[in-house]
Amino acid sequence: MKDLVFDLIKQEKVRQSEGLELIPSENYVSQAVLEAMGSILTNKYSEGYPSFEGIPGWEESQIAEEILPNYRYYGGQVNIDRIERLAIARACQLFHADHANVQPHSGANANEAVYFAWCNPGDKILAMSLPAGGHLTHGSPVTRSAKIYNFISYGVAADGDIDYAELESKALKEQPKIILIGYSAFMKIPDFDRIAKIAEKIPDCILMADMAHVAGLIAGGVHPNPLDHGFHVMTTTTHKTLRGPRGGLILSKGHVASPLKKPEKTIANLPILIDRAVFPGTQGGPLEHIVAAKAVAFGEALQPDFKDYATKIVANAKTLATELQKHDFILQGGGTENHLILINVKDSFGFDGKLYEIALDKVGLTLNANSLPTDKGGAFRPSGVRLGTPAITTRGFNQNDMKTLALWMKKVANLCKKAYAKSPDSPESALDNFSDEFEAIHEEVRTLALKYPVPGI
């Protein structure tokens, strides 16, 4: 008997094929990445690490053939070691790093490992606040790391960019162990050189960049790489714009040494400090089928056509932002410099972001309600919505399609206004009064979506 799970997977395939994914942290992986994730590598336990001897600069054919000593706790690692060394070498090449740890299960795990590698409990970390566009793992009080380390937050200026004066003032006053630049709802390109100069004034402070959202743009050459601008560590997820499997990655500058070595806590030793913080510090056995899928995704990102993809992501986002503004949408920061757009729904149309998210779902447009830097609506009734172009660009959508998308979004906004006017206390229920109008838009979305097949479906 076939499990019900597979019927639900089929239904999800239909949803993905007939709708458009606008959540900026989501994407579609290639058939090759899917095959690696679904491989028999999931059967293998591989606690520890392969030998790192000569990884950066090695030829791939040599990596695939060379048998080196390993630092594993289980036997049968010959093929696993080769695959993980490939992933490490490709990541280093892609991001100009001295070392890569490809084992973190997520971006959150990657961040926690870096904190654990460099900080003691109670040490200060300076990071962007969640309301300003930062991430939960950058000091939100609901997280474990916020209970261990002392997070100091900085915000954004009126133009939507980092408040560099506040960042510098707090850095000099608080003397943090880490200055962290990272975000999940920020539309500008950070001035990494300016931040690096600030960090030079603080002893024993490392510069860390959480580039989970824009790693694919960095790989594609349309966003600066913090590792080229004085940063010591870069963490990222491997999905989002990088278009790989769900997982984490830590890239670092410094001396690459045996993971058996007990290193001093110096900036030069960051690679080994981080490796020991991942395993055995915060994780057990790596997910080697995911590591293999990461290696495949990194290989894809090293191809020339990935640069074209990254360029199109940004072009589509900028066009979509412009078209939305033509339809009276107010955008945080006045637009975007990357893949991500944050709409101030409340100021644009008078209703909140959650109502708009629910309404857009009815027509097959998926995004998420999101707080704004000055939001008073709370996490469950925020004033904004967040959307982006990585997934639809993967499917082949172009700048002309962004005009159509903006028009659909305005039509849905108009229906939300009618529902809110009809029932201010229960506008979600009032949406049902306009089911015919929603279905008409949904059919238009479905027709266009099916012209652009989802990879792997």
Would you name the residues annotated as active-site residues? 45, 47, 210, 237, 240, 246
CA distance 317 to 393: 9
Phi, psi of 250 (to 5 degrees): -125, 125
Which one, of 357, 347, 309, 310, lies nearest residue 325 by Cα? 347
Tokens 């990272």 sit on residue: 182
Axis crossing angle, helix 435-449 with helix 4-18, rounded to the nearest 10 = 90
Q: What is the DSSP letter of 244?
A: S
As a residue count, the chain comes to 457
User: Is the distance from CB of 350 to CB of 3 less than 8 angstroms?
Assistant: no
Axis crossing angle, helix 164-174 with helix 192-199, rounded to the nearest 10 = 20
State the DSSP string of 59-78: -HHHHHH----EEESSS--H
CA dihedral 246, 108, 179, 95 (to 10 degrees): -20
Phi, psi of 134 (to 5 degrees): -75, -175
Tokens 């580039």 sit on residue: 211
| Residue 61 tokens, joined | 């054919």
Strands 20-21 and 365-366, bridge-based pairing: parallel
CA dihedral 255, 258, 260, 263 (to 10 degrees): -20
CA distance 457 to 454: 6
| Residue 154 tokens, joined | 């900085």
CA distance 147 to 316: 40
> Reduced to 3 states, what is the DSSP secondary structure of residue 249?
strand
Strands 48-50 and 70-72, bridge-based pairing: antiparallel
Axis crossing angle, helix 399-422 with helix 435-449, rounded to the nearest 10 = 170
What are residue 71's DSSP bridge partners?
Answer: 49
User: Is the distance from CB of 78 to CB of 72 less than 8 angstroms?
Assistant: no
Q: What is the DSSP letter of 342?
A: E
Which helix (H) or strand (E) covers residue 4, if one does?
helix 4-18
